[in-house]
Amino acid sequence: MKKIINYLLPAVCLVAIVFSVAAFNKAGAATPAGQPVDLTYAAEKALPSVVHIKYVQNSKVKTIDVQSDPFSDFFFDPFGGFFGRGNGGSQKRQVQTPRKTATGSGVIISADGYIVTNNHVVDGADELTVTLNDNKEYSARIIGADKTTDLALIKIDGKNLPAIVIANSDDIKVGEWVLAVGNPLGLNNTVTAGIVSAKARRLGANSVESFIQTDAAINAGNSGGALVNTRGELVGINAMLYSQTGSYSGYGFAIPTTIMNKVVDDLKKYGTVQRAWVGIQGSNVKDYVDSQKDQGKDIDLGTMEGIYVAKVLEDGAASDAGIKEGDVIVAVDGEKVTRMAELQEIIARKRPGDKISITYLHEKKKHTETVTLKNEQGTVKVVKHADLDVLGANFREVTDDQKRQLDISYGLEVLKVNNGKLKDAGINRGFIIQKVNDQSINTIEDLQKAVRDASTSKEPVLYIQGIYPTGKKAYFAVPLQDN
């Protein structure tokens, strides 16, 4: 029998608008139950604030690993000469990547040009062009992006732009009518309609999720577009669709404004999201109990709602609260939590240093403790992306002569070492950096990305592999933070 495969797809260039009956009329006043609503008011309010985003990634020369063959020495690579020695292992080859283009959507959130979209709409872009509802075009720059929530903040140079009104997504209810606005399938300025099908939905596509689920039609190109209520106010950023075909045939999912507001504020202030961590691994209580039943085990945790704690991480808020493996978290700050997505949404609004109360069941007995949230690095300090300046050195890509002499195909040569992290680690002038944290380093941009990624990670260290001009290979650990 032919298998049906379910797809979780990013809603790049996606539009979803709610089509149907609602609780508000054109003026936003309540209408009798069961009466159809005029959705033109919401569409008129939202459409000017939703933009079309064109993404361009230019063609590049990229070094890749390929399997060696016995005849590899007889072939010459036009981009960089001979690579490898045909020893049956892997070798480096340089290939020309094609120019890539894509389209998505975005939402103007301020009159001076700040626009929210999805991270996957802008990730890796060399050029971003924003087209407004009135067909005016602007070049955009990325202010910041957060892969964990799949949100990004970009900026265009404009004034008096039609910013959308942002509503509190906590106020929307299941069954409420919503509109999805965006640019799906190349069809600009598209509106679709549906209802809120569920809240706090978790799909496993991102690290932090608490999606608003809607049956409004969402397709490729809708990503980053607006999910609005019947007053035309923003309640979510459309992000993906759930489908058996790869196009709309089921449900769309939007990131709620409660998460969006915190991410945007952090990106503006710090350039990266200040993320607090509870410090647990776990699952919904019902999912855990069901899995135990499948194994023939009878489990009684004292509740069928909440988050089952499978593991408590050291130095986290949960550990400080006295939570143990096997406990169940049932509330945060007095707000009931029934599943993991609800907990993630609450914590996603917090910053390291914020205090919260956690209510949990230990051996079926309820306990409440107040703790201070920390970041992934175990501190309450502001975490910012580090720049190359922190290394205190100058670099250049290796020359063709160096490649031939050292039998290498890529790397960055350290031209000069000043005061900084490289000097502290003992790396000298002439050393050629080839890998950082297991990622190949071909360009200065590669090194910059490695530094930025490591600086905000749980372990802010660069593990550098490379080679000296003598052919001697070396390995260094370079901490990015002072103890």
Catalytic positions: 120, 150, 223
Contact by Cβ (8 Å): 211, 253: yes
Tallying the residues shown for the chain, one arrives at 483
Asked if residue 49 belongs to a known ligand binding site, the reply is: no
Contacts of 371 (CB under 8 A, 6+ apart): 317, 318, 320, 321, 355, 356, 357, 358
> Tell me, what amino acid is at 113?
G
Name the E strands within 202-316. Answer: 211-214, 226-228, 234-243, 251-256, 280-284, 307-312
How far is 389 from 420, CA to CA, in rounded Å? 8
- If phi over 0 gives left and psi between -120 and 50 gives alpha, with beta otherwise, what is residue 449? alpha
Q: Whose structure tokens read 């001076």? A: 112
Residue 106 CB-density burial (10 A; 0-12 exposed, 13-18 middle, 19+ buried): buried
Contacts of 251 (CB under 8 A, 6+ apart): 197, 213, 214, 215, 241, 242
Asked if residue 150 belongs to a known ligand binding site, the reply is: yes
Asked if residue 221 belongs to a known ligand binding site, the reply is: yes
Asked if residue 144 belongs to a known ligand binding site, the reply is: no
Asked if residue 120 belongs to a known ligand binding site, the reply is: yes
Binding-site residue numbers for substrate are 120, 150, 221-223
Annotated binding-site residues read: 120, 150, 221-223
